[in-house]
Structures are given as C-alpha cells and as structure tokens.
C-alpha cells in the first residue's frame, strides 16, 4: 500500500491473540517489527481466473456511442485491464491534481445523495398542514365566506384572528425547528464522512462528498466505501455488501474487483480508483428508486394523530348536537347558529398542539447538545424515554478499547515483587512505535520514563509470531551488570527457563494461566537472567520465571455508575459482544452487570439442556448478555426483544454494530464510532463513555413529561370549551362571541410554549404514551371546569347573589343570557382557570410541591394580566362584549381560585380509581397474553430518517428479506456507470501527461 495506515485500537487489542499467530514477521534495521508482507494482488485477475484482456476497441475513439463502447462484447469495465480503466477515466495512478478534481466536481456534482433541501416557505406552511389546522382553516373559510347574509357583513374579525393564530403557531414552530435543525446539521457536518484520497501524488483526507471519478482512494477495516471504485491494490480485503446485493456473508475482494459505495470494509485494506459518485453509484441508483417512497409514519406522529382524533371526534359530536338542537329545536337563524358552531370549532381545536410538541422536541434536542449528544432523528427523543432495555457492545463502549495490566492479579515466582515484575517487563517492551501489549506494560509503570531509566539498551528483539516473545539485553548502570529480560507466551517462556523450572513451578503456572483464562484474562509471562562478562550476545546464566501478568481491556471509569444509573431508571442493560464468553463474564462481573451470559450458538440452538428457560425468548430476557456474536446475532436479539414488547436502545462504535443500531428503536453511536455506526444511529455521542446516555435518558423523560402534561391539558381544554358552551347554548341560548375564544387561544399560546422549557421531574420508569390515561384525566378535568363556568352563569342568570353580596351589576336587569357584560365575565373566568389547569397537569403531587419554571410563571401571570385589562377596558361592539368593573374582576379571580384548589384532589381521586383500574386491566390482559406490545406495530418507524435508504428497501420486501441483485445485473450496472462517466469526460476531455 502506498500509505499504510495505523491500526485502530480495536485491531491492536487482537494482537494479544496473535501470541499464537504462526505468520512470520520481519525485523527492520531500526529494530521495529513489521508484519511479513501479505499477498498483495497488484496485478488484475479476472473473476474466472483468466488473464485480463485488453479492450477490443480503440479507446481513443471514446466519442463512439456509449451503447457500442460499453457493450460487453466489445469492452467490459469488469474485465478489462486496469490500465484501460485509467485510460477510460482519463486519470493516472498518481491521482488527479486539484484543478482537475475541481473541474470534475463541477461536471459530476458532489459525491452524496442530494437530500432535497426543504423549502423554507413550504416548511413554514407545513405547520398549517395537519388535521387540527385544517379544522381551523375551515373555520376561517366559514367566517369569511359563509357568514354573509341576514344584513350582516362577513366576519372579518374572526377570519383575521384565526389567520393570525395560525401564523403565530407556524412561526414559533418553524423558528424552533429550524434552529434545532441547523444546530444538528452543524454538528453532523463536523462528523461528516471522510475519505483518504491521493491527489497530485500525495495522500490526504478530504470530505467524501468531494470525491470525483478518477480519484485514487484507500480504505481499511471499519470504513464505509465512499464511492463505487475498482480496486488496484487489495490486502486481505473482505467487504460487507449484504444490503446491496443480498450476500449474507462478507465478500473477499482482490485487485480489479469493484466495490460499491455504502458497503463496509470488514477486513483488510485497499486502494482503488473511483468510477462513479453520488447518484450515479449503485447505492445512489437504488436509493433513487426506493428513497422517494418513504411512507413510514413515526410513532410520535401516530400518537399526535390519535390525540387529535380524540379532539376532533369530541368537537364533531357536539357540533352535530348543536346543529340538531339550535336549528332543529330552537329554529335559529342561519348566522346565529353559525357563530355558536364557530365557538366549538375555534375553541375546541388544540391548534397549538403540533407546534408545542415539535418545539418541545426541538428544544430538547438542543439541550441534549450540551451533553455532547447529537440527535439525528428528532422523534428518537420520545422513543428514548420509553426504552426498557439497553443492548450495549463491549469493546470501546463498556470498555476503554485499550489493553491494561491488572495489578491486582499479578502472579510472582521467586524473590521478585509485583512491582519488580512490571518494571522488568517494561524493560522488555518498546517505548516507541509500540503495539498494544508493549504500551499496556509500559503504562503499568505509572511513569513511562522508568522503562529506560537506569539502564543502557544493548540489544532488543521485538515480538515475532515464531518466537512469540520480546527480549532485551541491557546494562544496569547502578551495578554495571549485564542482564536480560524476556516476556511473551507462557509456553514459550517456561521452555526457556532453566534455573527454577520445577514441577511445582510448572503446575503453579498452569493453574494460574487456567485461572486467568476462566476469567477472560490473557497471560503474559516474564523471565530474567544475568549475563557474565561484557559480551551482550553471550549466553546468560539461565532464565528464571519471575512473574505472570494479566492483560485485559478494562471498563471505562464511568461505565459501572452508568449501568447503575440506567437500572435506577428502570432500564436493563445487556452486553452483546463478539468477544469470548469468559471475557464477557469477567467484564460483566467487574461492572456489576452480572455474569449470566450465553454464547452466540445458544441463539441458534435454543436454551441449553436442563435449562430453567422454557424458550429462547425467556433465555434472552433473563440473560445479562451474549458473547461471540456476529452482526446477525445482534440484530436477532434486538428484534426478539422488540417482539416481546420492549423498546430497545443499542449502543455501538464499530461497523459490525450498524445493523443492530439501525434495527433498534434508538441507535446510539458512541464517541469515535465508525461512519457506518454513525450513519445507522439516531443519536451520536461526541464524548467518550456511556454517562452521556444516562443524561440523554433523563433528559428524554423530562421532554416526554412536558409533552404528556401538555397533551392532558390540551384534551381537557377541548372538553371544557366544547361541553361548556354547548350546554350554555342548549340551556340558556347563550351566544358567546367567537372572537373572544380566539383571544383566549392567543393568550394561551404564549404561555403554553414555555412548557418546552418547563421544570419537570423525570419518571423513574420507562415512559410510554398511555392514551387511555390521558383521555381519562382530560375528561375529568374538562367536565369539572365546565361545571365551574356553568355554575357561575347559573348564579348570574337565576339569582342576584353577586349583586346583593358585592354590589355589582351587569348591563341588563334582569340579566339576559346574551348580556355583553355577562359575555365578558364568562370570557375572563374561562381564560384564567383554563390556563391555570396547566399547573395541575404538570405535577404528579400537589401543584405547589413541584415548582414550575420562571418562564411559565411569568407567561401565565402576563397572559392573565392582559386578560384582566381586556375585561376592564374591552368595549368591543363587534365582539358583543362590554367592560366590567374591578369588583367583577376580583370576584372572578376569587371564584377561580376556589374552584382551582380541588383540582389536585380530582387528580388524586382519578389515580386511585379510574387510572388504577386501567393499569390493572392492562396488566391482566398482558398476563393473559392478549395484549399486543406496542413496539410490534412500530416496525415502519425503525428505518425512518436514516442515512441508509437501502435498509428501507430491505424492509419493504419483508422482515429478514434482502434486495437480491444477480452478478450479471451488477456487471451491466457497472457498464452503465462507466458509460455515464465516459460520456461526460468525452464531452469535456482532459489531456494528461502519463506519470
């Protein structure tokens, strides 16, 4: 390879296992160890093993028709020699220069699937395009178009009020969502996929979006292939292209083979020449076919729809009732009855609901940014609040992905202490260009300078798979003696030992190694000898086994606390790792996660014989984790847990985690995750460790509580307005002005928006939308508030209590049901107590025990101050209202306070009766097995708003199905790609001097 890349920590950890690797290594003159050259396929080989062939047409005649030029009978981009590919693409092995790359970028466009930027105006108008807004828009049309007649002009005031209300809600929602989207975009841009490209003969890293046909690229394990390319060098390359071609296993690739954009490098490293980018890639063509048919409906959207339907059905019932009673029974004139219907339509619709809930999610996403979490799918916040099981990868997620010496388990033999063993082992380690083992041993000293302090290095033999050990010969400056230390595989080291090699020592060593193995710890033996004389090449006095070091990948410092916090939130953590069972159990013990784990084969074979588990599902639920798993196992575990009614979150960092991340309800890519993992995830962490996840879970539950509180409030106000004014119309023929309902709605909007930043307590158990509970609370609150208004009107119309007691009066005497001052009294009473309800719905106990945010308090009192001023000075003839005295305003405030106090007791009574009954009924149905778990119906949402459009196509052909493409179809498609590139370059030729 022209630019060998440094192995990742995940790769270097596997060097521990390479103690048994039989492949030879070479030692360079400077003492560094380099792997022996693996087979590099630098000469093209055709798929059938035949020698490559030259094109049978003159490539100089590239202006020929593409159908002829790329006809498989004449030229096949899959089988022509690589030199012809370079000729076709007008490029060289040194790569394109910057000017040519820029020119081609203009010709072919960026290497990305062009996400259609949502038009700002359409995004703004989208907040008016939902069922709730439609009703308001119908009300606006009714007020302006159908309100003519009977000597009265169109109802311009109501029309303008409705339009203003719609625009206010849309503006707030647009602003917050746009801000959140811009913030997420900026953070994601900082994590945008990179590509290693050779330009002008030198390698550099650029945004993968800047690649063009003809670029030279390289990639290694874990990378996503950034563009369709033909390989020119390949070292042990294995590519996972299952989602593209249907192949269940990674495919070995060699020089000359084609790799597809979006596939994942599972093994090895390679260089290639880009043949197509962006929408012209195989991935892009497939995405253009299936990406346009995203008919998935998110769970959040479904819930919002159900709540909206509840409100619409309630309104519809009472609108029909008013039509029958007012027109059929009371023989109302057309215009008078229409005003009453408008009151129900305008007042009953929770027009702010889509905006409030969207703003709450958008604000929540921005708050999560403070915890270094990027939310790529907004509704994932709501789903994270309901997560019941967190499936976590081990390496790099629960652990540090860095080898460490476990001081507590060091074994010593002879007179040497544990510290002596570590120091001597550090002598026998590299201090520069270290592999993972040497780095862990030197780090165990505490001060890395001790690894060479007080000694003079005379000779060093680095690790090689044949000897399976390292060795140092040095001069101890303090004593002037020559000494030699070696460390390596236990079997090799004990064979070297001659001075203390007794049966007892060997038995102890075997027992210690077995103990390590049972705990998933790797063993590293250390031996020591002295060399007589001044010749450092001379034989020593015989090696003596002095100690045994345990190597392991330690848990992150915060992981144990994170798991405990997750359990406290009612979220069970399961480890799902590809590592060995013993290692998984040891990690589980150290984390307090438990060691009740199973090997991956149990997922296929079912519970072991004589197991306490009756089924595989029981075993998966009971297990603390699984070891030795492959991507399909992780995917299967998540799918089965979802089938059992659980919402699953999956954390991971590697390419092999991507399928399960995509399948999980909430996929979480940890800091340092590969492009594949980030693209599949819903939340991307930019800070190491899992502590951010606990913050995210807590924050998501706070956000969920805000949405739940508002939903109860919105439904209760719908009941309260619709039932109240229908009763008043039926009982007293009261014609309340629709415009004042609009005023109430406008005042409510400003206050309700502050719920997105309200101070609420998160639940200690996973949240879920319990619509029966929400509707039950809403009906109870709504009917109670209805009673507060109806009883006030009854007293005003049928008694003189207020006049006699407080010396107040209304415009008519005796009071008429359509007295303008009575309308003002009703307006103020409804405005105050309806908005005050939010303090009850936002709390679980007494409202004064859970302090709201200052923003909510100020917004509430500000809105009620405005409402009171309107009551005192609002002489609006067009709205059929007249100002009332200060005494009336005081009476209404006291009246509302009296009626407000019992609301908490209604809440407690509902919890003790109706809500308790609903919970018991649900538990009984669940126990009987008749309850269908909610997540099962949410399959369509699992793939929404993901980068990988192909996964949606996989879903469309059935769960577990694949998009299968025949090899000949791939070859045909490759020719189409080359045809597109060739024609473009033919129209814009470049003359390149061959390098």
Residues 244 and 259 sit within 8 Å (Cβ to Cβ): no
Asked if omega into 814 is within 30° of 0 (cis), the reply is: yes
Listing DSSP states for 708-757 in one string gives HHHHHHHHHHHHHHHHHHHHHHHHH-----HHHHHHHHHHHHHHHHGGGG
The secondary structure of residue 25, as a DSSP letter, is: E
Q: Are strands 389-392 and 572-576 parallel, antiparallel or unpaired?
A: parallel
Residue 9 burial (CB count, 10 A):
17
Q: Which residue has the tokens 């150290």?
A: 590
Round to whole Å and give the CA distance between 929 and 936: 14
Phi, psi of 451 (to 5 degrees): -65, -15
Q: Which residue has the tokens 């509970």?
A: 773
Give the tokens for residue 467: 């000897």
| C-alpha dihedral (290, 295, 300, 306), degrees to nearest 10 | -170
Round to whole Å and give the CA distance between 411 and 547: 5
Chain-centre distance of CA 423, in angstroms?
A: 45
Nearest to 559 by CA among 583, 581, 592, 582: 592
Task: Supply the residues annotated as catalytic.
Answer: 393
Q: DSSP 3-state assignment of 934?
A: helix
Round to whole Å and give the CA distance between 496 and 470: 13
Residue 992 burial (CB count, 10 A):
16
Please give the sequence-ordered ranges of beta strands (E in DSSP) within 22-117, or none if there are none.
25-27, 33-35
Phi, psi of 566 (to 5 degrees): -65, -45
What's the 3-state SS for 249-289?
A: CCEEECCCCEECCCCEEEEEEEEEEEEECHHHCHHHHHHHH
∠ CA 16-19-24 to the nearest 5 degrees? 125
Give the number of C-alpha atoms closer than 13 A to the C-alpha of residue 419, restricted to the C-beta side: 3
The secondary structure of residue 78, as a DSSP letter, is: T
Give the tokens for residue 613: 């588990």
Residue 927 burial (CB count, 10 A):
9
User: Quick one: CA dihedral 941, 943, 949, 952, positive or negative?
Assistant: negative
Give the tokens for residue 140: 């606006």
Residue 249 burial (CB count, 10 A):
11
Residues 215 and 274 sit within 8 Å (Cβ to Cβ): yes
Give the tokens for residue 208: 């993968």
What's the 3-state SS for 444-490?
A: CCCCHHHHCCCEEEEEEECCCCCCCEEEEEEEECCCCEEEEEEEECH
∠ CA 520-522-525 to the nearest 5 degrees? 145
Burial letters 337-372, b for 16+ CB under 10 A, else e: bbbbbbbbbbbbbbbbbbbbbbbbbbbbbebbbebb
Provide the residue count of the chain. 995
Rg of the chain taking only CA atoms, in angstroms: 37
């Amino acid at each position: 390879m022209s630019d060998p890349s440094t192995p990742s920590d995940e790769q270097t950890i596997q060097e521990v296992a390479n103690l048994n690797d039989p492949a030879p290594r070479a030692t360079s003159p400077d003492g560094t160890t380099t792997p022996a050259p693996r087979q590099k396929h630098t000469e093209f080989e055709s798929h059938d093993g035949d020698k490559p062939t030259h094109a049978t047409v003159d490539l100089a005649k590239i202006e020929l028709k593409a159908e002829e030029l790329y006809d498989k009978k004449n030229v096949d981009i899959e089988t022509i020699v690589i030199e012809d590919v370079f000729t076709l693409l007008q490029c060289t092995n040194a790569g394109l220069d910057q000017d040519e790359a820029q020119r081609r970028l203009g010709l072919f466009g960026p290497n990305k699937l062009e996400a259609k930027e949502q038009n700002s105006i359409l995004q703004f108008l989208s907040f008016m395009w939902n069922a709730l807004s439609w009703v308001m828009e119908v009300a606006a049309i009714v007020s302006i178009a159908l309100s003519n007649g009977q000597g009265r002009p169109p109802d311009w005031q109501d029309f303008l009020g409705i339009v203003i209300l719609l625009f206010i809600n849309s503006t707030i929602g647009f602003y917050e969502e746009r801000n959140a989207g811009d913030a997420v975009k900026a953070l994601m841009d900082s994590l945008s996929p990179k590509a290693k490209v050779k330009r002008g003969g030198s390698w550099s890293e650029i945004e993968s979006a800047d690649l063009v046909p003809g670029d030279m690229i390289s990639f290694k394990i874990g990378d996503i292939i950034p563009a369709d390319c033909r390989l020119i060098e390949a070292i042990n390359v294995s590519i996972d292209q299952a989602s593209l071609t249907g192949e269940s296993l990674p495919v070995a690739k060699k020089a000359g083979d084609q790799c597809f954009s979006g596939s994942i490098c599972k093994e090895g490293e390679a260089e290639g020449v880009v043949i197509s980018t962006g929408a012209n890639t195989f991935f892009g063509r497939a995405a253009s076919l299936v990406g346009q048919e995203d008919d998935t409906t998110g769970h959040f959207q479904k819930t919002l729809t159900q709540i909206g339907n509840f409100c619409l059905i309630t309104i519809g019932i009472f609108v029909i009732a008013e039509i029958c009673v007012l027109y059929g029974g009371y023989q109302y004139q057309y215009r008078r009855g229409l005003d009453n219907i408008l009151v129900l339509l305008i007042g009953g619709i929770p027009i702010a609901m889509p905006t409030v809930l969207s703003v709450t999610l958008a604000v929540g996403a921005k708050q999560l940014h403070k915890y270094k979490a990027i939310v790529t799918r907004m509704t994932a916040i709501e789903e994270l609040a309901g997560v019941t099981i967190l499936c976590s990868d081990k390496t790099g997620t629960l652990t540090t992905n860095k080898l460490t010496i476990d001081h507590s388990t060091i074994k010593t033999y002879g007179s040497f202490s544990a510290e002596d063993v570590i120091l001597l082992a550090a002598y026998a380690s590299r201090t520069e260009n270290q592999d993972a083992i040497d780095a862990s041993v030197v780090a165990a000293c505490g001060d890395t300078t001790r690894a060479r302090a007080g000694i003079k290095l005379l000779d060093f033999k680095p690790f090689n798979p044949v000897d399976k050990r390292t060795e140092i010969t040095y001069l101890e400056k303090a004593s002037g003696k020559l000494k030699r230390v070696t460390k390596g595989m236990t079997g090799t080291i004990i064979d070297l030992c001659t001075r203390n090699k007794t049966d007892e020592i060997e038995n102890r060593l075997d027992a210690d190694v077995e103990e390590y193995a049972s705990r998933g710890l790797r063993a590293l033996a250390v031996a020591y000898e002295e060399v007589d004389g001044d010749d450092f090449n001379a034989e020593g006095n015989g090696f003596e086994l002095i100690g045994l070091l345990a190597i392991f990948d330690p848990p992150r410092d915060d992981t144990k606390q994170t798991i405990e916090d997750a359990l406290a939130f009612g979220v069970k953590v399961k480890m799902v790792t590809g590592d060995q069972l013993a290692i998984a159990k040891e990690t589980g013990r150290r984390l307090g996660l438990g060691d009740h784990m199973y090997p991956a084969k149990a997922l296929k074979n079912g519970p072991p014989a004589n197991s306490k588990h009756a089924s595989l599902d029981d075993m998966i639920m009971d297990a603390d984790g699984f070891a030795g798993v492959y991507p399909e196992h992780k995917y299967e575990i998540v799918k089965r847990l979802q089938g059992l009614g659980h919402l699953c979150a999956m954390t991971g960092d590697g390419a092999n985690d991507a399928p399960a991340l995509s399948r999980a309800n909430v996929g979480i890519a940890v800091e340092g995750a590969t492009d594949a993992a980030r693209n599949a995830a819903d939340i991307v962490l930019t800070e190491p460790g899992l502590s951010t996840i606990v913050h995210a879970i807590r924050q998501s539950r706070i956000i969920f509580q805000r949405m739940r509180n508002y939903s109860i409030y919105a439904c209760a106000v719908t009941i309260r307005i619709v039932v109240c004014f229908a009763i008043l119309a039926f009982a007293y023929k009261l014609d309340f002005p629709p415009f004042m309902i609009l005023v109430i709605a406008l005042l409510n909007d400003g206050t309700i928006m502050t719920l997105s930043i309200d101070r609420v307590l998160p639940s200690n158990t996973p949240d879920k939308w319990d619509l029966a509970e929400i509707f039950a609370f809403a009906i109870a609150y709504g009917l109670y508030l209805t009673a507060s208004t109806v009883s006030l009107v009854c007293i005003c119309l049928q008694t003189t209590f207020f006049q006699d007691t407080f010396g107040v009066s209304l415009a008519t005497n005796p009071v008429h049901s359509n007295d303008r001052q009575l309308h003002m009294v009703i307006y103020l009473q409804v405005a105050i107590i309806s908005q005050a309800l939010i303090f009850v719905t936002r709390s679980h106990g007494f409202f004064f025990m859970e302090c709201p945010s200052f923003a909510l308090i100020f917004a509430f009192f500000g809105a009620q101050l405005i409402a009171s001023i309107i009551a005192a000075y609002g002489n609006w003839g067009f709205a059929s209202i007249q100002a009332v005295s200060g005494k009336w305003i005081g009476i209404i405030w006291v009246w509302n306070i009296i009626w407000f106090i019992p609301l908490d007791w209604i809440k407690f009574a509902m919890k003790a009766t109706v809500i308790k009954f609903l919970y018991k009924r649900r538990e009984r149905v669940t126990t009987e097995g008749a309850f269908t778990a909610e997540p099962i119906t949410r399959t369509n949402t699992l793939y929404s708003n993901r980068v990988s459009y192909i996964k949606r196509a996989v879903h469309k052909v059935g769960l577990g199905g694949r998009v299968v493409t025949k090899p000949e179809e791939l070859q045909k498609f490759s020719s189409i790609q080359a045809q597109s590139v060739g024609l473009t370059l033919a129209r814009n030729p470049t003359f390149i001097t061959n390098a």
